[in-house]
Every structure is written in C-alpha cells, then in structure tokens.
Structure 1
C-alpha cells in the first residue's frame, strides 16, 4: 500500500520558517490507554505497556536527521507512577471526567514547555481510539492554530473517521509515516505541496530504515528515566504473510531488512544507558533469511544484553538453537495461535500440516539448548469451536507439564480495522459483542461467528470458558510464577 497523505482542509497557522528558534517543528503525541478495568484504585501496568513508542520515535528520529526538530510524548507515562496506572474506564462518567482533566493538564504542560509548531497524534491500536478522540478534541478547542497530523496503524485503517468525524485534523498519513510526515512539514513552507510529496516519498521511505532510533527524543516525566523502560529493537519492517487477523502486511508491505549499522547504533545507545533486556520488534525473524547470520553476529557482540525474539512455527525446524544462544537470545515467542489445522487454515497462517507434527521435537530442541519458549494462542477466531480449541488446551497443558514451554499467552481475537476479520463483520458473518474499541483488551470475547441462520457458532459463554482454561494453564507456567514474584518484590 502506497503512503498517502489525506488532506481535509487548508493548513493553518504561520509558516514554520518564520518561527525558527521558537520551539519544536513537531511534537508527536502517543495516546495513553483509557481502557476498561472495573476495579478501584490503581492497577498494575501491563508489561506490553512499558515499552516506549518505537514507531513514533522512528518518525521523530528521521525528522531530526532531515533537520526538523521533533520529539515524542508517550502520554501513557504521564498517567501513572512507577508501575501503577491510575486513569482507566470503569464504566462511569466520573472516570471519563477524571481522564479528561488529567489529559488537559498534561497537554497544557507539554505545549507550554515544548512550543510545537505542528502536532502529530500516533494512533497505533484500537484501544487508543477513545483516548485519541479526547486528545484531538482538546487540541482543536485550545490550540486551533496548530496544524495536526494523524497517523499510525489504527489511523491508517480508520482514516475516514479521523478526517470526517474529528474536528481539527488536517491530514492523515497512511502506512509508514517517516517520509510522508517530512513531506507534510516541508509542504507547510512550500506552495508546491503535491510535488514535494511525490518527490520525497520513495527515496526517504527507504532511507528512513537506515536512521537509528534516538531515545533522547522521548519527552518523559522527570520520574521516568529512559533506562527504566522495556525496550524494542526492529531489525526489519513488514511481513511476508497475510494472516486474517493481522494488519502488518497492509501497513508495512513485505518484509524489509534494516541496515546493520542502524540497529547496531541503537544497541550501542541502549548499552550506554545500562539497558540489559531488549525485545526484537520484528514481526517474525526467519533463520532462512539471508540477513539472519549477520544479525546473529551483531547481537553476539552485545554480551550485556539478553534478547527476546519472535519466531513463526514453520521457521523452527530451520533454526539452530546454538545460533540463538550465541546471539544472547534467551527467550523466543512463537505465534502459533492454534493446534488445529482447520483453524490455522481459517486464519490463513500458510502453515504446512507437518509443522504441527514436528512441533514437540522443534520446541524440545529449543528447551534443551536452555531457551525459554512462550506460545501465543487465539480464542474465538472464525472457524474455531469449543471442541477444536480443546485440542489446543490439551496440547498446551502437556507441553507445560513436560517443561517444554515456560510461558503461554492466550487472547480473544478482535476484528481490527483493515483485517479480513473486519470485512467479515461488514458482510454479516461476525457479530461484534463489544463495539467500544477502548474495551478491546482481549481478555473477554469481542466477536461471535454466525452460521447462515444467524446463530452463534462459538457462543460468548463458551469462548469465556476456553479463555479461562488457557488462563489456568498460564498460571502454572514458570514465566507467570517469575512475574508474580517480581511484582511482589516491587511492592
């Protein structure tokens, strides 16, 4: 999918050229999670929310490399203290009012301190939809003179909503954002805007992969040092597969490797900050890829860092565990989703049946090399039934009992905009149980598949029972026990 910028109205405000030296050229705001949690008091911050926004920082780093002053404000960290998250949706109007008040306070402080001439709002996930609407409303109300660009994975697939239903959005960038954002900023100073977009896009999009992500561009609260976060590292972008539940291929196109110099520089920066754990943010590493040996050589140089890495099931048989351990990879995350061939076909996973037949052997090879293995499973995907999911439950139970896997993660499937599942909703084959996207926390059913008579194939109650069975297994894994102990030590 080509990168495009969708314009709604004329760009507002004075030209950036007349305001040089008065602040940032762009501040990218990353919405916090205004998500549903029916509990009182602060809740523990989810592990996946402890990462800095890698995509937004990549855009800011690219803009800096092109002479634009840009920073990223991960608003999530202005809504919590330590590992406790304070603002969430408990279903009451009071919770929304508290979130809005905190949002306004944070935005006022950032605008006063950083004085941006343009704003970006990075909307990566469906759970950020509601928070992004609140933020955009405040920007239009209190800073209408500042132009606003919206982008990110979720925004790419819901662009008409942001252009037509949200006041104050000047443009939406679809797909990878580095080149299009630069072109948009430069167009504000040039009357030849369309030509500038076309001229810069192809060259700069490829060049953006070579720019190291600069963590110093994160505008963080004083109590949140960069070294205290969990950190990501992307050695590639995109995916060569078209799974029905995923938007990665639509967003980033086919997989492209990054130059080793770029991610090596990022690793050197992480070491300098004392970071000792890094998760590789690639959609999936493939040992068959021509750049894999080079990647292993680079990671092997950083002896103070331990890495986690994602792998597809069909790449396990080609994976030499010694290469992983030499690269200081201590944990692998396998996106299996199901042990049922029928469900995998419905997911368009493009896996051969013999991959499932070999899985015990392949996982045991990793375990015997001292690697930790976490499986990811999906509940409620079209084509699934309670009986088919029971096959996965039984297999996971056996793998945990034998000590083959150390972690298990199971979530409910969601019809994210842009996916094949979303089109099934439009055709009436799926019924949405929970329409509010800020409640798509994946720990409760979101959709039901319907048969030709309109009856649910896999009812909500059965999905809940399946999810709870997976959770029972998860609570018996060594990884879960270690996390609980760490949280107790932290309190």
Structure 2
C-alpha cells in the first residue's frame, strides 16, 4: 500500500518564502513506518516547498509552491498512491488544500483522500458535506487514527470502529465517530525521521522564516503538545482540550543530537504552544546542553511565560544553554482587553521580565494583537504606547483574526462581523474584518504605523546613553554577538526599503488607474 502525505501550496499577500520542514507530516510518516514496517510505503510531497523562491503573482496575491494541475499529476503519479493525505491546519489556507484534493480526485477517482489538521478537525462535518472529493477527516491527534484508517482500508477493521474519524457513508450521510483519547505517553511515538524530506532544501530557506535566528541552519522540534490556557483567539484548547503533555527529555535530547550530528543544524526552533510550562523540566533541559557544549542556539516561537520574571536563576541558565531571545505573547497593553481575551498575564511582571532579560544579554520581543470586537481606538493606542514605552528590542503587531474554532470567531459571528466565507490568504499579518469600533482599513493602518515606526523609534531609543549601556550593551559579549546585531539591523533596513518601494509602486499604479 502506497500512502502519500501532501503539504499544499498556499496563496498569500507576502511574496517572501518562509519555509521549514513539515514536522506534522514527518511525524505521521515516521509513525506509520514504525507500525507497518514494509507492509506500507509512505512518502511526503511538499508542494509548498517544491518551488521555494519562485512565488507567482495572482492578482494582488502570491502563489507559493506548485499549484499547476499537470505538474501535481506528474509528481503524485510517480508514487502510485493507494491513499492520499492532505494537511489542512490553517483556516486561511483551507482553499488551497481543497484545490489539491479536487485535482487529485480528478486523476485518481478511486483513491481515498483524507484530510487532517486543526482546521479540518474543527469543521470536519462541513468539509465532507460540501466537498465530495474528500472521503475522510482525521480529527485532533492523527497518528493512531491514521494507522487505524489504513487498517480499515486493508479490511482489518471497520470504519465505524476508528475513533477520531469522520467519513461519508455509502448513503452519503456523514458519520462522525467518537473522539479519540489522547496519547498519554508521547514517548511511545518515534522520533520524527527527517529522512522523509530533503532537509538540505529546508536548510537553505529556513533562515527566511526564522529571520531573527542567530545561527543557521535551523530545524524545528516539538517537545510537548497542548496548552492549559483558554485565550479567546486561539483554537489550541479545542484541538488539545487544554491538556498539556510533554515528551520525556531523553527522547528530546536524542532528537536534537540527531539534528546536530546528521544534518548539521546549529539552531533549534521549539514549536511548543507552552515550552516554559514545568520549571524542573526546563532546568534539566538547560543543564544538559550546558554540559554538552554543542554550540547551538535555541528559540521558542510561541513565546515565554511572564512568571520567568520571578526566577533569575532559570533566566540565567537558559542564557547559558543557548537561548538568546525572549519573546513574550503580551497581546495587549490594556487591562480591559487582557481580561476580554482571558490572557493570564500581568503587565507589571512583563515589564520586570523584559528588564531582567535585557540585563542578562537577551534580545527581547513581544507579540501584540489589536482589533478585538469591542476594543476602542484609545485602548488599541494603549497597547501601542505600552510597546513603545517598554524596553523591548522588537515588537510584532497583528490584527485580530476570527478563525473558525475559536471563541473569537463565535463573538464575531454573534456581532455580525463575519460570515461563513473563508477569505483566501487570510493570516495574522493583515486584518480583513471590521470590529464594532473600527474598520479593517483603520486597523491595518494602525498596525502599519506601529510596525513601520518601530525601527526609527529604537534607533532613537538606543542613542540615549542610559538605554545603550543598560539594555543594548549587555548583549555584546562575543564577536558573534556583534555579527548577529549587525545582521538584524541590516535585515530590518532591507525590509524597510522593500516596504517603501512597494508603497511607492502602489501609489504610481493608483495614479495610472486614475
């Protein structure tokens, strides 16, 4: 049996390529290989990665990856599939996943197509009702459900016995089997085998995704699953049920050692929703890499918890282990908004953490979200002011997105601010929906103003001797620190120039139209 797992192309507003290995598909492929040995053949087709560096213009959007029907047919035909799996994690990329499914069903009408991922999980019934070319949906955690689906297709199980599976019955009714219990021991899953993909290809482009990375090449890992919090804008609680499960550190250490020794990786990007969850675990993690002296760096995409402000020893230990940047998901500088989004964060503690981290030599950053339904312009400007008055090195401003499966989506629907239509290419970098207080255009303008003015603000900020010596100077301890800071500065300048050129070209295009 030949199983092909596909990462679709995407359509977005930004032409830059952000690429990392498809870790979810790699994990599924590795698990199937462990369970079935030689009884099945598993391969990964990353359509997004296949033409990295060659985005194609499509109106005011860009197609990243292969979306040509004939090319997709050629690539998939090499693998002679008996089962096709398509990843569908983000709501904004759902259209592309369906497009690939429709194309493949045309060429292989008798081959079952299964979808999985966050978005597919949250609207499984609707996908099956509206799209005859999708046969199965795997909800939530995928490994065991996919294994049992394969067994059912081989005649070893009935479809009705596979927990976590939604499917179309012979009479066209939609069957949603009971949810599957989560895997209690993540160490029963094998270490993801990067041999399923061409890591050299991802190494070449990964620096563009993690553009603040200190060392290259970069690879990603997950050391845990789930998050115990209940932020209204996040669907994680509906995928993992607010349950945090961690892999054993011995297995994590082994995976990192493989990435370093076999693939030459020099920076590990941790994708956990909550890496800094259990203090003892982080101490053990840091001690291991301090002792091993592997000369690698660590970063954490989802951010760091503010309670670190109360533990100077752990902050110091993380720095010695290779963590060099602390990013905090602050989200808002307004207490009323923080209460609305149910973010367990204390702004005083956040300011304390930023100050301590700077003095220990960390680069500091934060995520902020504006445009929640009831948020006023004044409250939004409180968030911008908080960021600009802080000691942060970097601030990333996003416009709130009501993604399906989140409580925020339900609120937007209740207030008639969103319908069921999914806008192609929607993602966190651009707002598409009005709030009750402001239009999407005005929200995007504030985001552009806050993001666009940051570089100038920080240059002026660091020119003050007190700020230079207390905040910037502690970051420079080795020659590599100077090289890193120069590369960051140069990258920000380049991005600013690109923004100005893009703005100028759009203005000229507008004049021509007029």
Q: Which residue of 2 aligns with 1:156?
A: 121
- SS of 1:449's equivalent in the other structure is coil
Contact 1:61–1:211 (8 Å) recurs in 2? yes
Q: Which residue of 1 aligns with 2:438?
A: 458
Residue 130 (structure 1) shift? 1.5
- SS of 1:70's equivalent in the other structure is strand
Pairs within 5 Å for 1:258-407: 258-271=247-260, 272-286=262-276, 288-300=278-290, 301=292, 303-309=294-300, 310-318=303-311, 320-351=314-345, 355-399=346-390, 404-407=391-394
Q: Kindly tell me: are residues 321 and 290 of structure 1, through their superposed partners in 2, closer, same or farther at Cα, counting changes over 3 Å?
A: closer
Structure 2 CA distance for aligned equivalents of residues 206 and 287 of structure 1: 17
Q: Within the alignment, does 1:238 sit opposite 2:226 as a pair?
A: yes
Pairs within 5 Å for 1:128-277: 128-194=93-159, 197=162, 202=181, 206-207=185-186, 210-218=189-197, 224=201, 226=203, 229=206, 230-253=218-241, 254-271=243-260, 272-277=262-267
Residue 160 (structure 1) shift? 2.4
Contact 1:227–1:275 (8 Å) recurs in 2? no
Residue 338 (structure 1) shift? 0.7
Q: Within the alignment, does 1:72 sit opposite 2:44 as a pair?
A: yes
Q: Which deviates the most, 289-298 or 151-160?
A: 289-298
Structure 1 unaligned spans of 5+? 1-15, 17-23, 38-42, 451-456
Q: Within the alignment, does 1:56 sit opposite 2:25 as a pair?
A: yes
Structure 1 CA distance for aligned equivalents of residues 441 and 204 of structure 2: 43
Q: Which deviates the most, 66-75 or 125-134?
A: 66-75
Residue 244 (structure 1) shift? 0.2
Contact 2:51–2:65 (8 Å) recurs in 1? no
RMSD (CA atoms) = 3.0
Contact 1:306–1:328 (8 Å) recurs in 2? yes
Contact 2:221–2:271 (8 Å) recurs in 1? yes
Task: Count how many residue pairs are aligned between Structure 1 and Structure 2.
Answer: 434
Q: Kindly tell me: are residues 71 and 482 of structure 1, through their superposed partners in 2, closer, same or farther at Cα, counting changes over 3 Å?
A: farther
Work out which of the residue numbers 445, 453, 471 in structure 1 matches 2:431. Answer: 445
Structure 2 unaligned spans of 5+? 165-178, 207-217, 459-484, 497-514
Contact 2:304–2:326 (8 Å) recurs in 1? yes
Residue 288 (structure 1) shift? 4.3
Q: Which deviates the most, 457-466 or 115-124?
A: 457-466
Work out which of the residue numbers 473, 481, 485 in structure 1 matches 2:489. Answer: 481
Contact 1:153–1:251 (8 Å) recurs in 2? yes
Contact 1:239–1:283 (8 Å) recurs in 2? yes
